[in-house]
Chain A
Amino acid sequence: MYVSLKWLAKYVDISGFEPAELAEKITRAGIEVDGIIDLSAGLKKLMVGEVKEKEKHPEADKLNICQVDFGEEEYSQIVCGAPNVAVGQKVIVARPGAHLPGGKIKKAKLRGQVSNGMICSLQELGIEGKVVPKAYAEGIYVLPSDTPVGSDAVEVLGLDDVVLELGLTPNRSDAMSMLGVAYEVAAILDREIHLPEIKYEATTKKAADVLNVRVEALEQNPLYAAKVVENVKVAESPLWLQQALMAVGVRPLNNVVDITNYILMEYGQPLHAFDYDALKTGEIVVRLATEGESIKTLDGKDRTLKASNLVITNGEEPVAVAGVMGGFDSEVTDKTTTVVIESAYFEGLSVRYTSKDLGLRSDASARFEKGIDPNRVLPAAERAAQLMAEIAGGTVLEGTVLVDELDKTPARVAVSPDFINSRLGMKISLNEMVSILKRLRFDVETANGLLIVDAPTRRQDIKIEEDIVEEIARMYGYDEIPKTIPVAETSVGGLTPYQEKRRVTRHYLEGSGLFQALTYSLTSDELAQKYALQTEETTRLMMPMSEAHSTLRQSLLPHLIEAAVHNVSRQIPLVALYEIGSVFLGKGEDGLPNEEEHLSIVMTGKWLDHAWQGEHKQVDFFVLKGVIEGLLEKLGLSARIQYVASKQEGMHPGRTASIVLDGEVVGFFGQLHPKEQKTLGLKETYVAELNFKQLAGAEVEPLVCQPIPRFPSISRDIALVVDRTLEAGTIEAIIREAGGTLLKSVHVFDLYEGANMPEGKKSLAFTLTYFNPEKTLTDEEVVAVHDQVMAALKEQANVEVR
């Protein structure tokens, strides 16, 4: 909403306040002023001149040499390129020394001809092209013929004005009008408000004799008022009206339409003007459309209607979409002589849905859908009639053709001062409260210690006690509210065990060299299930903005791999990223997809790069496995985890493992399939996708400290020649089983698969550590258990001891 301060000053005295000061006051009271636009910004020394002579430029087809009169002794020669320049026009001239937003004007020569400045279009004055009247859109602006030459063009054009741009919240539809803003400003400044005086003479001929109005959908249209004005002369509006509209962002069209737009802005009441003759039937019937019925709207488009859309008809066919846009065929044109002014109350939801159905929003629909003031419908119609008479020379027929079933009583709220003070934590006196409400022009009485407030109907947002609390507080000033801390039983607060574990995981992974990434939950259909640990029915948006963000992900890896590609293609030597985020699987009982947090990792590049001391290592399977092992240790799950070689779509068939917790697969990790790597432009890349919900959600034993060992442990190294396909994990399991309670740990310390090995064999070496927490182990005891281990290995795994 744009508010011209010149216009506003017609209703409320704003003298004594600079625009910025006023804007700050309005903002602090609740309506945010987003911008302050000085219409005269960059304009200096513009003068009105009259074109006295015009001749073609000898060297340029499109230029004219004009002699312009400024009321001085001699005419001044100005070269003008506008197609519409003509002798006798009063025009805006920027003479040498003048300023325009485009810069300072100097005397110039155009193709050899002296030009003492330029004749200006409105755009050259900084007015937006979309609000410039169409007649002048492609050329210079022509002032009324009675404009005195030599006068200040900025003043003549009313550009000595400042416009405030309001950022309105949906509740403050009252401020979508100059009067509404005037009420607000009057309350803020505690000044009087002056409403427009409506006065005109009607003929004795009755409107009701020429027009009949019937409403068949009272629920959607409880009030319909029509006035008829004859002998209207459709023409360009007077300058003040054009200027007022342009200042608030509306393009002037002709006097009749401009009047309806002016009142829309002044009262917030959308009006529509019909050409009476084009209506043909002398009748207006408001009804719901029939399904599939069509209408050509003002913008020239054919629109198909639904049965829920409210239309204005001439009794036969639609002539307007109620509250949204008028019809093309009943539009006011240059030939119109009799005008029907419609001022109606259309119910908000109906307009909102119709406007949505048609994909058509207008200044009118924006106001109807938020709720207009029921008590301004009729005054607005009268105001329009007055201006039609004053400006368009019209004869107003007597009376208003009216259907009125609308309840116009204001909302009454009874609230106690204690209630207000206890909500605010303040001590505002009753008198102060009454005075604030009066400033807001609310009707207020006190009875039985209560404030009985009748909110004016323009304030549709005032309904309950809390609304009064807000009105009092915002006028009293939020700065006056003290700062306190809630008095309530103290609560401890904190994180759940799951949330704690998520932080532990985060700290561990970051300490291990990984950066936390954040990617989008929405992905493409194609990627939604790629590298998924588990797939179920996907969830897709009804109307995605793009295919790339259309479906909810079931794996974090596709986006994380994209991040790796982004970094690798920018020559980042090591990419180590992780993300903890939700995946969306199938559909739960409540109809929502099951959301589970997953943890994904991507690693590629130089894991260790300490060049000058010769230490180098690329990320490989075991780097990633080490990270995962450490994490599971942190989460207290190591002992319950198994790693099982597995196959996974998109993964290297020989370098992928499943992670099994208590017998259930909770994740996988390994190398991306070389084919995928090639497609993505990646070198060896390792990834993991883990069900974090299960990992962090798994209950763990309480942490109980073991005594520091008081007795020494004994280690034995063994080297075994085994089948190449036999997994170290299998051997370790045999060793652990046979080693019993005395075996404290088993570690692989060597793997050899090179030369000198029998075909299909490898050598694996382990360190076994024996320990008895109760006493010092004797050699005999160790030998006994170690022999058992060796026997088990020979028997179960066919190993050969080296």
Chain B
Amino acid sequence: MEMAAQLTQLKQEALDRIQAATNTKELNDVRVAYLGKKGPITDLLKGMGKLPAEERPKMGALVNEVRGEVQEVLEARMVELEEKAVEAQLAQETIDVTLPGRTIKVGNAHPLTRVTEEIENLFIGMGYEVVEGPEVEKDYYNFEALNLPKGHPARDMQDTFYISEEILMRTHTSPVQARTMEEKKGSSIRIICPGKVFRRDNDDATHSHQFNQIEGLVIGENIRMSDLKGTLDVFAKKMFGDEREIRLRPSYFPFTEPSVEMDISCFKCGGSGCNVCKNTGWIEILGAGMVHPNVLEMAGYDPKKVTGFAFGMGQERIAMLRYGVEDIRDFYTNDVRFLEQFQRAED
């Protein structure tokens, strides 16, 4: 057969086989078979020597053309088959993305710690130190140094667990203030004091013989009641939202004079009245006041020269209001189904 015809036939054969190949391996076989060193096209090139010299260039060009064309089609087919192979592979690797992930078990802080630390952080930002004191206290620091001498009727406000005549379970965190004032004799003070406190109560949905308080104390020259109000306003807005308003109501604590209670506008209804604020629009949050001169004096401060304010609140109450906890005992039962609800962040 004439060489040109042979070439055309070879080309057609090669193209058919390229088309027929279903995977890269078959296609590689085609490459080797037709374009390899031992393939028919190479053979044809080798046989060109037998041709007359004037035909060789023409023939050479033709061979190269065929070769090039086969090569090109083969490469294209190769890309196509490779893609198919990858697709097939990926299809095979497909997983059910809705199956559950391998959980990373993470615990979380107790809700009362959450509240405590939030308050601590807020006041640390305003330059307060965190000071703690003992849960078992002397009558002196718990009462007497706070202007509550023995026999004072206001002692009835705090039913006390006594250990002996002079030693008791502290009924509030205020003794930490008395201790700190005694220690820092004369110098100014900015502290926040969290801790556990105890009262003679039967545990029920709204009473607990143990609960938490956090108190603040600022002592310095020319500390005014307006400073107390301003500080509490910052606190209320940071803790309960920028839209919160505060109001002070006169009250009574033996260790402050004047004494106030602070309400915030209800964070649930905004003041229009709801079950959280018992339709008053206001929620009682804390007690506060200007440190009583007797308290300053007993701790070695001169009430003519320095003044101060103090405030105190209960974390349980705040947590109950904020998170809608209905039974105070839930904080002490440590049921995991309760605790784990305090995992996530809040705005």
A interface residues, Cβ below 8 angstroms from B: 27-30, 32, 169-172, 348-349, 352-353, 369-370, 422-426, 464, 466-467, 469-470, 473-474, 478-479, 481-496, 499, 503, 506, 509-522, 539-545, 549, 552, 560, 563, 566-567, 570, 572, 574-578, 581-582, 584, 590-593, 595, 607, 610, 612-613, 615
Contacts and interface: CB of A to CB of B under 8 A. Distances in A.
Contact of A470 (B105, B209, B229, B258): B258
B227 to A, nearest CB: 4
A478 B259 contact: no
Contact of B107 (A488, A510, A581, A613): A510
Contact of B109 (A516, A543, A567, A574): A516
Nearest to A371: B153
Nearest to A575: B336
Contacts of A563: 333-334
Contacts of B258: 466, 469-470, 473-474
Contact of A482 (B138, B220, B226, B250): B226
Given A353-B151, A484-B226, A567-B334, 10 more contacts: A171-B252, A423-B307, A464-B293, A481-B248, A486-B223, A493-B124, A515-B110, A541-B169, A566-B334, A592-B167
Contact of B196 (A481, A521, A590): A521
Given A425-B225, A493-B127, A509-B107, A540 B231 contact: no
Nearest to B219: A488
B336 A592 contact: no
B210 interface: yes
Interface string B92-129: 00000001101101111110110001001001111111
B282 to A, nearest CB: 10
Give the secondary structure class of A's interface: mixed
3 closest cross-chain pairs (CB), A and B: A425-B226, A30-B250, A425-B224
B233 interface: yes
B337 to A, nearest CB: 7
Contact of A515 (B108, B231, B307, B333): B108
A29 B249 CA distance: 7
B257 A469 contact: yes
Contacts of A487: 222, 227
B334 A577 contact: yes
B138 A494 contact: no
Which bracket fits the contact residues of B? 35 or more
Nearest to B212: A518
A515 B339 contact: yes
Contact of B136 (A491, A492, A499, A539): A539
Contact of A422 (B108, B222, B229): B222
B250 A481 contact: no
Contacts of B218: 486, 488
B75 interface: no
A348 B153 contact: yes
A516 B290 contact: no
B209 A549 contact: yes
B244 to A, nearest CB: 13
Interface in B120-164: 120, 123-130, 132, 134-138, 151, 153-154, 156-157, 161-164
A517 B339 contact: yes
A466 to B, nearest CB: 4
20 contacts: A29-B250, A30-B250, A32-B249, A423-B224, A424-B226, A425-B226, A469-B290, A470-B257, A473-B250, A478-B248, A482-B230, A486-B223, A488-B221, A491-B128, A521-B210, A522-B169, A541-B161, A545-B201, A584-B136, A595-B136
Nearest to B99: A612
Contacts of B161: 522, 541-544
A512 B108 CA distance: 10
A423 B336 contact: no
Given A490-B127, A593-B136, A170 B227 contact: no
A643 to B, nearest CB: 24
Given A473-B258, A490-B127, A592-B134, A610 B103 contact: yes
Interface in B300-347: 307, 331-337, 339-340
Given A484-B226, A491-B127, A544-B161, A479 B247 contact: yes
B180 interface: no
B117 to A, nearest CB: 7
A368 B169 CA distance: 29
Contacts of B135: 521, 582, 584, 595
B220 A488 contact: yes
A501 to B, nearest CB: 13
A488 B225 contact: no
B109 A481 contact: no
Contacts of A473: 225, 250, 258
B110 A517 contact: yes
A570 B335 contact: yes
A479 B265 CA distance: 14
A593 B229 CA distance: 38
B332 A520 contact: yes
Nearest to A467: B257
Given A423-B224, A520-B332, A567-B335, A514 B126 contact: no
A790 B181 CA distance: 63
A266 B95 CA distance: 84
A513 B224 contact: no
B89 interface: no
A170 B157 CA distance: 8
A506 B166 contact: no
Interface string B226-268: 1101110110000000000001111110100111100000000
Contacts of A584: 135-136
Nearest to B293: A466
B102 A615 contact: yes
A274 to B, nearest CB: 28
Contact of A486 (B99, B220, B257): B220
Nearest to A582: B135
B151 A349 contact: yes
B162 A541 contact: yes
Given A425-B227, A483-B233, A516 B188 contact: no
Nearest to A466: B257
Given A493-B126, A520-B332, A563-B333, A481 B257 contact: no
A602 to B, nearest CB: 10
Contacts of B153: 170, 348, 352, 369-370
B275 interface: no
B11 interface: no
Nearest to B192: A493
Nearest to A590: B138
A779 to B, nearest CB: 41
B172 interface: no
Contact of A543 (B100, B162, B290, B293): B162
Interface centre among A482, A493, A577 (most CB of B within 10 A): A493
A423 B225 contact: yes
B105 A574 contact: yes
Given A563-B334, A574-B105, A520 B127 contact: no
A520 B110 CA distance: 14
Contacts of A469: 257-258, 290
B260 A478 contact: yes
A424 B331 contact: no
Given A539-B163, A552-B136, A591-B138, A484 B109 contact: no
A479 B231 CA distance: 15
Nearest to A490: B127
Contacts of B252: 169-172
B200 interface: yes
Contacts of A422: 222, 224
